[in-house]
């Protein structure tokens, strides 16, 4: 089958391509900047701009299924580029998919499209959405992107929406690593003496990639599917990583509410170092720590995420030898 993947060079894209190739699909891998020249059977790399309708029509031509992964992830309160890419970009790709006659589009949205602060401690596909204008831009933009997609579904596009939770695990060749993976690498090396408390539902990136494929095969048009894993505290998560790395883990947790009270002082300091880790968005998710119900994805798609400890073990092994879990990069650029 011919499939197209936007954001193919990213963290999730790398893992999704691996599964699609293993299934024998012919893949058009699309990204703004493509990797260095290489060759791999069944993968053709092309440069594409999700904000350019003509570019998307050209790159998606012939694709039966389109996986849309492109997003700007940020913890900032406001970010014009994130808003544009996460909303307008979804609409452009969706309309191009409809125009070229793609059989289905699978959109990688986010748990952040659901309002984690008003969910009553539990999220399923019926939970309140991120309509509050005071929410961080990523939350608001992911919900607005879903609205933009639904407008194209109303025009006749067959599309399914997936909402992963906190994504982590191998293979992560990002520079820098994703925030969670960066923290776990430090923990595996024994560099985290204490950790901020609170927790989050975390899911292996490989399970998210599998969930996207399952959604393309079995999902119902216009439906959302939460792709979650397990709820775990950041303290326990870092201790797992330290254990697999043969190091001593953090000894205690600092209350996220205590740190949140210092945000007016810490946030400006973080901006000086181009960091948004200490922010309302970062700490808010840890404080709210909602339980995520992914039973719908399990029952309708056959989705089955692996245990958190398995992911942490594989991630620490990946840090030790990034080449051990995948063959050399042999991708081809068009």
Residue pLDDT, tens place only, 282-319:
667 777 888 999 999 999 999 999 999 999 999 999 99
Residue 239's pLDDT is: 98
- Return the pLDDT at 332: 39
Residue from 42, 26, 44, 24 nearest 34 by CA: 44
Backbone angles phi, psi at 108, to 5 degrees: -85, 95
Query: For residue 221, how many C-alpha atoms fall within 13 Å in the half-sphere facing its CB?
Result: 10
Omega of the bond leading into 163 within 30 degrees of 0 (cis): no
HSE-up (13 A, CA, CB side) for residue 250: 22
Q: pLDDT at position 21, please? A: 96
With 0.85 as the threshold, say if the pTM is over it.
yes
3-class secondary structure, 263: helix
Chain segment 98-110, per-residue pLDDT in tens: 999 999 999 999 9
Quick one: pLDDT at residue 273? 44
DSSP element (H, E) containing 42: none
**Stretch 168-175: mean pLDDT, rounded?**
95
The residue with tokens 């999700």 is 50
Q: pLDDT tens, 254-277?
A: 887 776 665 555 555 445 445 555
Residue 12 has pLDDT above 50, yes or no: yes
What mean pLDDT value characterizes the chain? 90
φ/ψ of 9, rounded to 5, equals -85, -5
Ranges of each domain in the chain: 2-169+202-230+291-306+322-333
Cα(203)–Cα(185) distance, integer angstroms: 17
Selecting from 3.40.50.170, 3.40.50.1820, 3.30.450.30, 3.40.50.720, what CATH number does the domain 2-169+202-230+291-306+322-333 have? 3.40.50.720
Q: How does residue 76 score in pLDDT terms, banded at 50, 70 and 90?
A: confident
**Mean local confidence (pLDDT), 37-42:** 69
């Amino acid at each position: 089958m011919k499939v197209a993947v936007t954001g193919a060079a990213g963290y999730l894209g790398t893992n999704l391509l691996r599964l699609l190739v293993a299934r024998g699909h012919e893949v058009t891998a699309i990204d703004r900047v493509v990797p260095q020249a290489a060759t791999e059977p069944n993968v053709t790399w092309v440069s594409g701009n999700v904000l350019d309708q003509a570019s998307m029509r050209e790159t998606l031509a012939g694709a039966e299924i389109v996986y849309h992964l492109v997003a700007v992830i940020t913890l900032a309160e406001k970010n014009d580029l994130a808003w544009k890419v996460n909303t307008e970009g979804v609409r452009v790709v969706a309309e191009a998919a409809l125009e070229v006659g793609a059989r289905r589009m699978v959109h990688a949205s986010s748990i952040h499209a659901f309002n984690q602060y008003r969910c009553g401690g539990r999220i399923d596909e019926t939970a309140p959405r991120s309509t509050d204008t005071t929410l961080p831009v990523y939350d608001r933009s992911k919900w607005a992107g879903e609205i933009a997609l639904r407008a194209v579904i109303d025009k006749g596009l067959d599309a399914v929406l997936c909402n992963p939770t906190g994504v982590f695990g191998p293979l992560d060749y990002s520079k820098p690593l994703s925030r969670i993976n960066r923290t776990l690498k430090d923990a595996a090396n024994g560099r985290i003496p204490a950790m901020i408390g609170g927790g989050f539902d975390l899911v292996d990136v490989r399970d998210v990639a599998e969930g996207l494929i399952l959604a393309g095969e079995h999902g119902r048009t216009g439906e959302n599917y939460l792709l979650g894993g397990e709820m775990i505290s950041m303290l326990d998560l870092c201790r797992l990583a330290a254990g697999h790395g043969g190091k001593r883990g953090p000894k205690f947790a600092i209350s996220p509410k205590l740190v949140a009270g210092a945000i007016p002082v810490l946030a400006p300091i973080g901006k000086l170092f181009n960091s948004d880790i200490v922010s309302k968005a970062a700490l808010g998710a840890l404080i709210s720590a909602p339980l995520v119900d992914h039973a719908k994805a399990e029952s309708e798609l056959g989705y089955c995420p692996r245990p958190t400890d398995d992911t942490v073990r594989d991630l620490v092994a990946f840090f030790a030898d990034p080449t051990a879990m995948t063959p050399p990069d042999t991708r081809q650029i068009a």
